[in-house]
């Protein structure tokens, strides 16, 4: 049985009738209808006359909700016993065109490259119709009803009525992004069912198409010649180079790449692109010298990041010339060599020649004079002739001075030219000081202790020290002083080149003794130093040492000797 959807009242409506094949049982049975739509949800949608077998629908149907119903018809006697086995009953809902085409989106976007061939597919529009796809109710046809703007042609695009493909129909020459009134076009697309017939239902959507840029315009310098000035010795941007490019800004077809193709033999220049305005920033990266070259001429090339499309009728790049004039400045004198290193003996006479400074003026095109002066002389040892630049000693050079480091004394001098304004330069003088034997050696330690009852007569090992360098220092000779009788009590024995052993020849009572020693270095001529070592003879008990705090033995002896002389004089 079939029933059309969307039927109007009154209900119920007869849609068909069931028959009993066996006539001999006619009138002895009743009809029953079972299944979804009868005795199952949705209940009561279909009913059957128990006597006649007529099937009716009780309300309006919606094919898009349910397009068919599978029921069963059976017969029973009046007692409810089954007379005929259940027979399937298929009720099909017939479609009506009650659904409009619907686009899945209200606005679609697409893009096409400028200059694309006629027939280039831009995008595809697709609508959906909920009606029966086996009928014309769901057969759609597409159409462009409006193009905005409608220049240069109201029919720049075409849509395939059946597939919904939007393609270009305008000539590639006219599809020029730089000459079109806009880069964005809006199309109103209508989809109509019933295969596009006048009675068909419609749905509408908007297609926005952007004409995208391709690199079909090479960048061109706004001027064939650019000029700039720069002071010698300075660096940084000296000129901004401007270009025109009709391609879409902020794309690879518009962004410029600059390069220096001629004139920069010393690689003193660099050019970079300003990303904000596409200008070429020409910079000096190595200071220029006016005296070497007053003028520089560079040939600059500009091209795009993206390659230029072929067959556009012109080259992919443009060139321009840049004239750069170097402005002279008064440069300070330059010392050579710097630092200047010389070797001199310490303690040379005051007024001795040390070095001759050499400073030249880079401004060779100007005849300027130079004067010298001391800028930093930590120890105040040096003077300089202001005209000739000769350096002499004004005090004695001392290698052992705290101002000398690693045998080197460093001073700084300044040279000033007579330019306007004057310019200065500094140079360093390093004096390597050779050693002179001008420091007497000395002995360490100066105090030694020994027990009065010690069995070991070795008092101490003493060593020599000397501020001078070899060979003006060690080996040292350490011996007893010249006082008579010392060798009866003391002995000095050499241990090595710097140290000697002091020994007692017999025990001494608890007291402090001053032992005179003579130490001599190995310089030529050698230097000697008379010194004393204080030897404390102590009482040692239970690992404790008690030493005398009284005056030394030698000091007491001297007091006694002076007293005896006074007595003799008085007599």
What is the per-residue pLDDT for 546?
78
For 191-218, the three-class secondary structure string (H helix, E strand, C coil) is EECHHHCCCCCEEEEEEEEEEECCCCCC
Tens of pLDDT, residue by residue over 406-428, are 999 999 999 999 887 899 999 99
For range 372-389, the mean pLDDT: 95
| Distance from C-alpha of 64 to C-alpha of 66, rounded to nearest angstrom | 6
In the DSSP assignment, the letter for residue 334 is E
| CATH class for the domain made up of 2-94 | mainly beta
pTM: 0.49
| Distance from C-alpha of 370 to C-alpha of 388, rounded to nearest angstrom | 9
Quick one: which of 525, 465, 519 has its CA closest to 494?
519
CA distances from 307 to 175, 275, 304 (A): 20, 18, 7
Correct CATH for 442-558 of 1.20.58.220, 3.20.10.10, 3.90.180.10, 2.60.40.60: 2.60.40.60
What is the per-residue pLDDT for 26?
54
Structure tokens at 503: 């020994």
String of b and e for 370-397 (b: at least 16 CB within 10 Å)?
Answer: bbbebeebeeebbbbeeeebebebeeeb
Residue ranges, comma separated, of all CATH 2.60.40.60 domains in the chain are 2-94, 102-212, 220-327, 334-434, 442-558
What is the per-residue pLDDT for 311?
58
Tens of pLDDT, residue by residue over 478-520, are 999 888 888 898 999 999 989 999 998 888 888 889 999 999 9
Tell the CATH topology of 334-434: Immunoglobulin-like (2.60.40)
| Domain 102-212 is found in CATH 3.30.450.40 | no
| Distance from C-alpha of 487 to C-alpha of 506, rounded to nearest angstrom | 11
Q: Is 241 exposed, middle or buried (0-12, 13-18, 19+ CB in 10 A)?
A: buried
For range 377-398, the mean pLDDT: 95
Average per-residue pLDDT for the chain: 88
563 vs 545 pLDDT, higher one? 545
Tens of pLDDT, residue by residue over 118-127, are 999 999 999 9
Architecture of domain 220-327 in this structure: Sandwich (2.60)
Tens of pLDDT, residue by residue over 328-361, are 888 889 999 999 999 999 989 999 999 999 999 8
What is the per-residue pLDDT for 158?
96
Tens of pLDDT, residue by residue over 90-125, are 999 999 999 999 999 989 999 999 889 999 999 999
What is the per-residue pLDDT for 567?
30
In this predicted structure, the answer to whether residue 551 has a pLDDT above a threshold of 60 is no
Q: H or E stretch including 164?
A: none
What does the angle CA 58 – CA 59 – CA 62 come to, to the nearest 5 degrees? 135
Structure tokens at 102: 């619907």
**Pairing outcome for strands 220-221 and 256-262:** unpaired
Pair 381, 397: CB distance under 8 Å:
yes
What does the angle CA 521 – CA 524 – CA 526 come to, to the nearest 5 degrees? 35
What is the per-residue pLDDT for 27?
63
What does the angle CA 269 – CA 271 – CA 273 come to, to the nearest 5 degrees? 165
């Amino acid at each position: 049985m079939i029933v059309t959807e969307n039927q109007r009242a009154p209900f119920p409506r007869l849609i068909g009738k069931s028959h009993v094949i066996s006539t001999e049982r006619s009138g002895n049975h009743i009809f029953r209808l079972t299944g979804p739509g009868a005795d199952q949800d949705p209940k009561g949608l279909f009913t059957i006359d128990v006597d006649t077998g007529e099937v009716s629908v009780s309300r309006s149907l919606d094919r898009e909700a349910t397009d068919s119903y599978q029921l069963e018809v059976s017969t029973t006697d009046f007692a409810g016993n089954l007379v005929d086995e259940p027979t399937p009953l298929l009720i099909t809902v017939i479609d009506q065109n009650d659904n409009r085409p619907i686009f899945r989106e209200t606005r679609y976007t697409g893009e096409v490259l400028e200059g694309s061939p006629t027939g280039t597919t831009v995008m595809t529009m697709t609508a959906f119709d909920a009606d029966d796809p086996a009928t014309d109710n769901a057969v759609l046809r597409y159409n462009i009803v409006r193009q905005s703007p409608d220049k240069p042609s109201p029919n720049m695009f075409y849509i395939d009525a059946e597939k919904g493909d939007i393609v270009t129909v305008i000539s590639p020459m006219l599809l020029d992004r730089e000459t079109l009134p806009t880069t964005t076009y809006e199309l109103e697309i209508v989809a109509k069912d019933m295969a596009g017939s006048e009675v068909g239902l419609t749905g509408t959507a908007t297609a926005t198409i952007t004409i995208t840029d391709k690199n079909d315009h090479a960048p061109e310098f706004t001027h064939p010649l650019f000029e700039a000035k720069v002071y010698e010795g300075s660096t940084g941007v000296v000129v901004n180079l401007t270009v025109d490019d009709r391609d879409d800004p902020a794309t690879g077809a518009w962004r410029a790449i600059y390069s220096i193709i001629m004139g920069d033999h010393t690689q003193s220049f660099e050019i970079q692109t300003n990303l904000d305005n596409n200008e070429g920033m020409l910079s000096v990266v190595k200071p220029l010298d006016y005296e070497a070259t007053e003028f520089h001429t560079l040939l600059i090339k500009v091209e795009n990041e993206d390659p230029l499309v072929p067959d556009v009728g012109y080259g992919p790049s443009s060139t321009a010339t840049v004239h750069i004039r170097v402005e002279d400045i008064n440069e300070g004198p330059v010392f050579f060599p710097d630092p200047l290193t010389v070797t001199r003996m310490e303690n040379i006479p005051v007024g001795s020649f040390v070095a001759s400074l050499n400073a030249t003026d880079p401004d060779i095109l100007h005849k300027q004079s130079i004067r010298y002066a001391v800028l930093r002389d930590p120890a105040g040892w040096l003077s300089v002739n202001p005209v000739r630049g000769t350096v002499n000693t004004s005090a004695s050079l001392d290698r052992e001075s705290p101002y000398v480091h690693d045998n080197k004394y460093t001073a700084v001098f300044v040279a000033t030219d007579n330019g306007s304004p004057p310019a200065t330069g500094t140079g360093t003088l390093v004096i390597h000081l050779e050693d002179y034997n001008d420091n007497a050696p000395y002995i360490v330690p100066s105090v030694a202790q020994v027990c009065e009852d010690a069995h070991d007569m070795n008092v101490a090992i003493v060593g020599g020290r000397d501020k001078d360098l070899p060979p003006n220092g060690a080996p040292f000779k350490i011996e007893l002083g010249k006082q008579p009788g010392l060798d009866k009590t003391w002995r000095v024995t050499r241990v090595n080149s710097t140290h000697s052993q002091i020994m007692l020849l017999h025990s001494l009572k608890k007291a402090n003794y001053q032992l005179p020693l003579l130490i001599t270095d190995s310089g030529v001529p050698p230097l000697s130093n008379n010194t004393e070592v204080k030897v404390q003879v102590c009482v040692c008990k239970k690992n404790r040492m008690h030493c005398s705090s009284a005056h030394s033995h030698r000091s007491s002896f001297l007091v006694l000797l002076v007293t005896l002389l006074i007595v003799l004089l008085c007599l």
